[in-house]
Amino acid sequence: MSQPTPLARRLRTLWARAVRHQPVLSKAAVALVGLVFVWGVWLTYDILSGLPGRDDIRSLGNMAQATTLYDMSDRPVFTIFKEQRIEVPVARISPHLLRAIVSIEDRRFFAHNGVDSFRVVGAAWKNLLQFRAAQGGSTITQQLARQSFLTSDKTLRRKLKEAVLAARIEDQYSKHEILELYLNKVYFGEGLYGVEAASLGYFGKPASDLDVPEAALLAGLVKSPSSYAPTVNLERATARRNVVLQAMLDEDVIDRPTWEQATHTRVKLQPKAGEPEASGLHFKEQVRLKLVELFGGERVYEGGLRVYTTIDPAMQEAAETEIARSLKEIEARQAAGKKRSRPSGAAHDDLLQAALVAVDPKTGEVRAMVGGRDKKASGFNRATQAQRQPGSAFKPFVYATALEAGYSPASLVDRLDEPIMTLEGAWIPEDGHSEGTAMTVRTALRTSSNRAAARMIENVGIERTAEYAKRLGLGSVPQVPSLALGSGEVTLLSMTMAYATFADGGMLHTPILIRRVVDAQGVTLFETAPSAERAISETTAFLMSHMLADVVNAGTASKARSDGFTLPAAGKTGTTNDYMDAWFVGFTPKLVSGVWIGFDQPRTILRNGYAGDLAVPLWARFMKSATRNDKPSWFKPPSGIVSMDVCRMSGKLPAGGCDDVAITNNDGTTVNRSVIQTEYFVKGTEPTESCDLHPGHSFLQAIAGVFRGTQNVTPVTAEAAGLPAATARADTPSAEAPVTPAASELPQSQTDKKKRGFWGRIFKGKD
């Protein structure tokens, strides 16, 4: 008999020991099995605890939706979002995209019940070979579960939870419902969530219109949007698209000719999602602030609200275009004058700024709003937040107060050569338009006389003027004599709304940016009805509009006419001390707009930089564009308004010499002109006395006057006669220099009376 080998002897020894220790080993095995069981129970509990229940899974469709803002014609223009998403049903998603997604992400999607066993085994094998979690093997349903309820941690625990959730989702939703949820939730890069936003964002078309190569590109983004986005790396995006096309070919969802054509198609991006927001961002921000105030941030950013605003995109674009143009022109003048040039890389608060607001005077609806030259560089809205002195643009409110107190456009403002007594002593405002001792209210407003405005506020009362300013929406202004020259600080929006009061018969409107808000289910949550209250009488509003028309036609804003704006209009310029602010607020019966130009930290814009040269051209060009389809119209005299001829200089009934006065222009030339004009009055305020400046003459004096050519021994200046100057003259801020108008630019009721013939010059009869 052969002897056992050493190995056999060793095995027998081990077996004998095992038999002797069987009770101990049995206990260890039992303990191990117990530990595995406990661990399994704990793992099962850990996985199942905290998982969403049935109701949570049914709420998968409740995704964060962007709030959409619509323009005045109900066209979408802005979005406000936490996730930029537009939900669409699966029926409105291109079949090409459905096939592409399934081919590249989950080719057995329609065969499994949430977890693809073949894919799990394959992924596990590849991960084992590479000693890391290189491949996840998640189905579309699992991805939906992860995106909705889980983190992106690559752990076994998360994968098991994902599998359980996927099975529950498959139990409650059909395959097409799962595809719809997935394609509306998945991220496509560039802040775009869901296939509709992605399709609009990359190709400028709805998801229903995607062709094969476009669908393949979007499907390829899902794996890694930051890596494959065509806006980041077009070459990599194209390569990834072709991988998807190959998968579609392998799955027989496209044929080879289609594959060949699609792989050779160049990617053409035509983004649409961001384009509407290229302008109007200050308007959008004002709306957003109001929405958050009304509904809270969460509902605004995630609730899918539909907000119908008042913005006119064409006006908004024109406003931003003209502001950019005007700032460029002014900065060129700064550089040419060596006053200051814009330094390269200058801080934003060191740049010249401008703001514009346009409003429908009948409703208060804001059509355009620009709060600065660059919204992205500064969130400060200079149209609504900047408090600045308006300069002479405040003077209309002084004269509106006077009209309410019983003055008329023909009332004389006298004692212009006398100082005004203040708490600080005697004050005579600087003024280049007050050569005489008196002028009518109409002439004072047209020429922007500082002394006349200061005298008028003294006559009617500073406190009373401040009260009317408050009625007109300008808030509390300082009750000091310099208030007449615009020393109180106001916003551009409040000034524009105050001028809109003149254009709407004395009614002050609350500015409206939001017409209506509707929730995602179509329920109206908020609706704005035009709100107005009477601030001044209808007759005062008409008279102010009529006088302010002189400013545009023949006064400090007459550059609007030379710049090509021809519609009947009214308005007022404002230039502050040291030329630090340039204002103009003007209106037609259908639109009122205000502009402001200046620096955030006030300093001189340009030496002799009057508003008539800086703000008026901006306003005129904007209005020319904004009203290009409007027909000429003007305000009709309301009940209680009468008209009659008066002398421009005295404001009284014409006397014999009022139609033939020697007028000296600024260039030194002298002409004989009539100073008779048709004036409007509130009934009961008409003059009853005849002009004592140009009395009639005897028959022999009249005959002599025919041969002399004039009846005045001493000629008067055009401005003293209440007539437009023949040449422009510069003077102090708050009294802007007039620009020579054409005779045809004067309102018909303001043109000089027809020259009289031989017998008319003798008998001086009234027209």
Pair 262, 212: CB distance under 8 Å: yes
**Which domains, from first to last, does the chain contain?**
57-62+83-276 (1.10.3810.10), 387-487 (3.40.710.10), 641-763 (no CATH)
Cβ atoms of residues 704 and 687 within 8 Å: no
Scan for tokens 């309410």, then name that residue: 404
Among 340-354, 585-599, 715-729, the range with the most confident prediction by mean pLDDT is 585-599
392 is catalytic: yes
Candidate from 233-237, 510-514, 527-531, 602-606 with smallest mean pLDDT = 527-531
Least confident of 89-98, 150-159, 361-370, 696-705: 696-705
Using alpha carbons, list the distances in angstroms from residue 313 to 28, 69, 626, 709: 80, 12, 10, 58
**663, 715 in Cβ contact below 8 A?**
yes
Handedness of CA 145, 147, 148, 152 (dihedral sign): positive
Q: Is the pLDDT of residue 764 over 50?
A: no
Residues 746-762: what's their mean pLDDT? 39
Residue type present at position 339? K
Quick one: which of 534, 545, 469 has its CA closest to 507? 534
CA nearest to 309, candidates 282, 270, 328? 282
Reading the block at residue 66, the tokens are 């962007």
- Is the pLDDT at 129 greater than 70? The verdict is no
| Candidate from 252-261, 330-339, 410-419 with smallest mean pLDDT | 330-339
pLDDT at 734: 54
97-122 average pLDDT score: 82
pLDDT of residue 41: 54
Give the model's pLDDT for residue 411: 97
Radius of gyration of the chain (CA): 40
Two tokens, residue 26: 């049995």
The answer on pLDDT for 740 being more than 50 is: no
pLDDT at 626 over 70: yes
Residue 710 scores a pLDDT above 60 = no
Residue whose token pair is 């990834």: 240
Q: What are 532's strand-pairing partners?
A: 509
**Given 87, 105, 170, 285, the catalytic residue:** 105
pLDDT, average across residues 191-202? 91
- 435 pLDDT above the threshold of 50: yes
Give the per-residue pLDDT at 534. Answer: 97
pLDDT at 759: 37
Whether residue 194 contacts residue 183, with contact meaning beta carbons closer than 8 Å, is answered with: yes
Read off the pLDDT band of 672 (50, 70, 90).
Answer: confident
Q: Which tokens sit at 160?
A: 């098991």
Q: Are 447 and 572 a contacting pair, CB within 8 Å? A: no
Among the listed residues 402, 423, 574, the one whose alpha carbon sits nearest the alpha carbon of residue 490:
574
Q: What percent of the chain clears pLDDT 90, i.e. is strictly above it?
A: 57
Query: Mean of the pLDDT values across residues 546-567?
Result: 96
- Predicted pLDDT of residue 115: 78
Q: Quote the pLDDT of residue 51.
A: 62
What is the pLDDT averaged over residues 245-255? 95
Q: Mean per-residue pLDDT for 224-234?
A: 90
Rounded mean pLDDT of the chain? Answer: 83
- 94, 103, 279, 392: which one is catalytic? 392
Axis-axis angle for helices 395-404, 538-554 (nearest 10): 140
The pLDDT value recorded for residue 421 is 87
Q: What mean pLDDT is predicted for residues 103-129?
A: 72
Give, for 621, the enclosing helix (H) or strand (E).
helix 611-626
User: What confidence tier does 700 reach under pLDDT thresholds 50, 70, 90?
Assistant: very low
Residue 748 pLDDT exceeds 50: no
Residue 137: band (very low, low, confident or very high) from pLDDT cuts 50, 70, 90: low
CA angle 46, 48, 50 (to 5 degrees): 85
Better pLDDT: 319 or 23: 319
Q: CA-to-CA distance for 535 and 542, rounded, in angstroms? A: 13
Length of the chain: 767
**Is pLDDT of 648 > 80?**
yes
Active site residue 177: no
Q: What is the pLDDT of residue 738?
A: 37
Tell me, what's the pLDDT at 152?
A: 59
Structure tokens at 708: 């002399």
Beta-carbon contacts of 757 under 8 Å, excluding residues fewer than 6 positions away, are none
Strand partners, 508: 533
Q: What is the pLDDT of residues 349-396, one digit of tens each?
A: 589 999 999 999 999 999 999 999 876 656 789 999 999 999 999 999
Alpha carbon distance 363, 500 (integer Å): 10
- Would you state the pLDDT for residue 327? 96
User: Which is nearest to 726 in space by CA: 486, 554, 530?
Assistant: 554
Predicted pLDDT at 170: 80
Indicate if the alpha-carbon torsion angle 515, 284, 282, 230 is positive or negative.
negative
